[in-house]
Amino acid sequence: MMRKATSSSSISSIIFLIIVAFIGGGISSSSGGGLFASGFVMLPSSRSSSSAPFTNKITIQTQTRMRTALPITTTTATTSITTTADDDEEKGLTTSSSSSSSSSSSSSSTNKIKNKNKDKSTSKKIRPIHKNWWPVACLSSLDNDKPNSITLLNKKLVLFRSSTSSSSSSSSDDIDDGSEHHSHDDDDVWTCLDDRCSHRFAPLSEGRLVPSTEESEVDSTSSTVVEGSKASSSSCTSCKIQCAYHGWEFDGKGSNTKIPQQQIAQRQKQQKQKQSSSRQDVQSYPIRIKAGMIFIWSDPNSYDTIGKHIEIPVSKSTQDAYNSKGNIFQRDLPYGYELLGENLLDLSHLPFSHHSVGGLDRSLGTPLPFRMLNETEKSALNDNEDSSSYPSTVTPLYEVEIMNASRSDPVLLSMKGTPDTATAHVGFYQPCHVRYNRVVPAIQSSQVILYFCPTSSTKSRVFLMNVFERKEKKKEVVDEDTSSPELLIETAEVSSSTSTSTSSSTPTPTTASKEPLLSSFYKRLKSIIQKKLFQIIIKIKFTPTYMHLMNHKIFDGDGIFLAMQGDRMQRGGTMLGGRGQYGHKKNKDKEKSPSLSYRDYQTPSSADVLVNAFRRYVTLSVKKDDDNDDINDTISDSIIDSVQPTKVKYDTDNIPRSKILDRYESHTKNCPLCRNALKKGRQREKILNVVHTALIGSTGASFIVSFISCITASTTSSTADLVDISKMIAKIAFGVMIVTGGSAFGISKLQQIVKDYNQQFIFVDYIHADKH
C-alpha cells in the first residue's frame, strides 16, 4: 500500500514539474544587471565576435564600423569651460584657455571678440524650431490598416499607409533624399495630413482607409517610400482616408477626392473643368523614412526652399544596426522636450538617477571635465563614419569630449579595467538627436543613439537604439560563424605541416611533441564551446523584450523628478539673481518673475556645458526678433509653447504616480514585442489560475477522503478487510493531498512571478529612497 502511495506521489510530482516548465518557459526574470551604455541598456546581438577578449561586462556587437579615436592636440596647458549663463541670449559657449603665464588685458579683449563672432556664427546655423525634420513614430508602432493619430509641436496629425507597391517597380530614385533602398517584397508609401477634415474639422484619425477608385501618382513632398514593411491584411493596395463624420475622402496628397453629399453632375462638372477648390483639401506634410523611423518636415511651406536640402542625422552604423536588428525602443514621456533634451545630454546624473541599474553606482559620481570641440574637430570625428555607399555630411551643433574618459565617464568606470586610451564624446544634432560615442581602442566601440521630439506642451517622445562593435583581431585563426572542431583540426594540421616544411632540420614530430598541439586544440575547443553556450544564454536571457523592460527602468528613474522639475520651474518665484521665462532679466517693477528658467540654474562645473548649450539652442530657435525673419513671420505661440511651456501647466500634484510612470499607454500598446509578451503572460496567468484552482480542489477532496477513511478504519464494528482497505485509501488520499497541496503552493508562487512579470508592462513604481 505504501508503494502505491509513493508511486502516486512521484507521478504527481512529475506532472507538477511538467506544468511548471510549460507555464514558466516564456518568462524572463526582470532582476539582475543589464548591459549599460550612457545610462541606457545595451541591445544584445547574436553576432558577437569570437576574437574579442571577455571582460566582466557583457558586450555585444552588430556589424558596424568602429569609430576610431581622434587624437586632438592642444597648445594650452589646461582647458576650462565657462558654463554660467550670460545675459545675452545669443551668446554661445565661451571656451577659455589658461597656461602657466598670465594673459594680458589686450589678449583677453581679443578673445572676447573672437568668442562673440563665434557665438554669432553658431546662432546663424540654428534653424527655426518648426523648420526641421522631426521623428514622430517607429514603423513597428503603426497600424498599417488604420489611420494613426500623432502629435507634433502641439499639432494633431494623422499618419496612414496610402499605398503598397512591388519593390521591383521601385528604385532608389523613388526614395526622397537618399533614403536607403532595400530589396523586400513590399514597399509602403506613408502619408501625413492634418488630423482635421476640411468639412467641419472632425478628426480624420477616427476615420478609416478605403480603396482608391483610380491610380494616381504619389507626391514625393507629401509621402515617401519605406522598404521592409510587412504585408498588409488590408484589401486596398492604394488607399485614401475617409472621414467618419460625413464620408469625405482624401488621397495621399491631401486632395479632396469625394464629397458624398455633392450632386453627381456638379462634381463631374467640377472635375471636368478642374474647378475643385483647394480649400477643400487637407494640408499634407513631407515624410522621410530613416532607420525604421518616420520623420516629418513640420513646415510644408519651407520644404522646397529648406527641407529638401536638410539631411537627417542618421549615421551609417545606425542604419546598419536597424537593418540587422530592426528593433527601436519608443516611449512617450510626461515631461517636455526642453527637459528631455537636458536629461539626454546630462552624463553626470547617471550614477545617481540610475543607481543599481546595470553596472552604475552612486560611488561612480566623479568630476566630469568636458571640452567643447571646434568645427574642425567635429568634422574630423564625423568623417570617420562616412561611407561611399551611405555618405553623411551632418555634423553636431555641439559636441564635447570627456577628458580622461576612462577615469571620469561613469559608464567606462563601471567597466573595470578600461584602458586610459578609451575616449568618449557626446554630440547634439539639431533639433532632435543625441549621440554618445565610446571607443576602447583594439577592443570595442559603442554608440547610444537617441532621438526625441516635442509632442505637445509638457509632453515628449523618445527613441533609443544601441550600436556596438568589437574590434576583430588580425591574427584570429578561427572565425566565429565558421568555427567547428573539424576546422580546428584542419587548422592545426596546416600549422603543423607549415612548421615542418619551413624548418628542414626539425626532426619528425614524436608523440611527446604532439602533446602541446593536442592541448592547444582542446583549449580552443573548450573556448568555442564556452562562447557558443554564452551566446545561447545571451539569446535566451537578453531578449528584445527583456531589454525593453530594462530601458523602462532607465526612463522611470528620471520620470518622476523631471515632471516635478517642470512643475517647480513653472511655479516660479524669484531666486537670488533670478530671471524670467526665456532667460530675460527680471523687470525691476515686478516683485517676482513669472517662472524660473534655465538662466536660474546654478552650473559651476563643466558637466552642465551641454545642458546650457541645448537650452540656449531652444531659446534661439523660437526667438522672435528682427534678426530672424523666418521665425518672426511663421512661428506660432502654440509651437513655442510646445518646447517652452508656459500656458500648459505640469501640475504634478494632481497626477498620480501610476500615470506619470505609466508603461502601457506610453509604450506597450504600441510595441508589438511587449504587447505580444503581455498577451502571452496573461494567457499563462489564466492557465495558472485554472491549475491552481484544480489543485486546491484536489487537495480538499483528498483531505475529505483521507478523513472519512480514517474514521471508517477506527470504527470498532468494521471488519478487518474493511479496516485494511480504509487504511490504504487514507494513506493514498493523504499522499495525494500532500502532493497537490505542495503543488498548489508552488503554483501560487509561480502565479505571483507571472503577475509581477505582466505588471512590468503596465506600471512599476520607482522610489529612489529604496534603491540601496
| CATH code of the domain containing 240 | 2.102.10.10
Residue 52 confidence (pLDDT): 33
Expressed as residue numbers, the domain containing 196 is 133-309
Task: Take residue 176 and report the three cell numbers written for it.
Answer: 526622397
Last residue of some domain: 594, 629, 658? 658
Within a domain: 582? no
Assigned domain for 594 exists: no
User: Does residue 539 have a pLDDT over 70?
Assistant: yes
**What mean pLDDT do residues 594-620 have?**
91
Residue 318 lies in a domain: no
Asked if 397 and 436 sit in the same domain, the reply is yes
Judgement on whether residues 542 and 404 belong to the same structural domain of the protein: yes
How far apart CA 685 and CA 754 sit, in angstroms, is 6
The predicted pLDDT at position 236 comes to: 72
Residue 252 shares a structural domain with residue 142: yes
| 644, 558: one domain | yes
Q: Indicate whether 229 belongs to any domain.
A: yes
More confident call, 524 vs 761: 761
Q: Is residue 111 part of a domain?
A: no
Grid cell digits, residue 756: 509581477
pLDDT in tens, 556-601: 999 889 999 999 998 876 444 444 444 444 444 444 557 888 999 9
pLDDT at site 185? 29
Residue 80 counted as domain residue: yes
Specify the number of domains making up the chain: 3
Task: Report residue 674's pLDDT band, with 50, 70 and 90 as the boundaries.
Answer: very high
Same domain, 355 and 423: yes
In a domain, 369, yes or no: yes
Question: 644 and 715 share a domain?
Answer: no
- Span 117-124, mean pLDDT? 49
* Averaged confidence pLDDT in the chain: 73
> Higher model confidence: residue 453 or residue 528?
453
Cα–Cα distance for residue pair 260/199, rounded to 1 Å:
12
Please give the pLDDT value at position 514. Answer: 53
Least confident of 101-105, 358-362, 681-685: 101-105
Structure-model confidence comparison of residues 538 and 398, the more confident one: 398
- Provide the pLDDT confidence category of residue 217 given band limits of 50, 70 and 90: very low
Asked whether 294 and 287 are in contact (CB, 8 A), the reply is yes
Q: Do 175 and 294 sit in the same domain of this protein?
A: yes
HSE, CB side, 13 Å, CA atoms: give it for residue 220: 12
Report the amino acid identity of residue 11. I
Q: Which pLDDT score is estimated for 276? A: 54
pLDDT tens digit sequence for 154-193: 999 999 998 875 443 333 333 333 333 222 323 578 999 9
In a 3-state reduction of DSSP, which class is residue 297?
strand
Which three three-digit cell numbers place residue 23?
507555464
3-state SS, residue 433:
strand
Residues 639 and 766 in one domain: no
Q: Is residue 361 part of a domain?
A: yes
Please identify which residue in the block is written with the cell numbers 534603491: 771
What pLDDT was estimated at residue 688?
96
Q: Do residue 40 and residue 19 come from a single domain?
A: no
Which pLDDT score, from 0 to 100, does residue 471 have? Answer: 63
Contact 211, 238 (CB under 8 A): yes
Is the same domain home to 628 and 740?
A: no
DSSP lists the bridge partners of residue 445 as: 439, 469
For residues 644 and 621, membership in a common domain is answered with: yes
Q: Is residue 312 classed as helix, strand or coil in its secondary structure?
A: coil
Among 533-547, 604-618, 641-655, 674-688, whose mean pLDDT is lowest?
533-547
Give CA angle at 260 (255, 264), nearest 5°: 95
Beta carbons within 8 Å of 510's beta carbon, 6+ residues apart: none
Q: Are residue 82 and residue 141 in the same domain, yes or no?
A: no
Amino acid 515: pLDDT: 60
- pLDDT of res. 323: 87
pLDDT band at 29 (very low <50, low <70, confident <90, very high): very low
On the question of pLDDT at 604 being above 70, the answer is yes
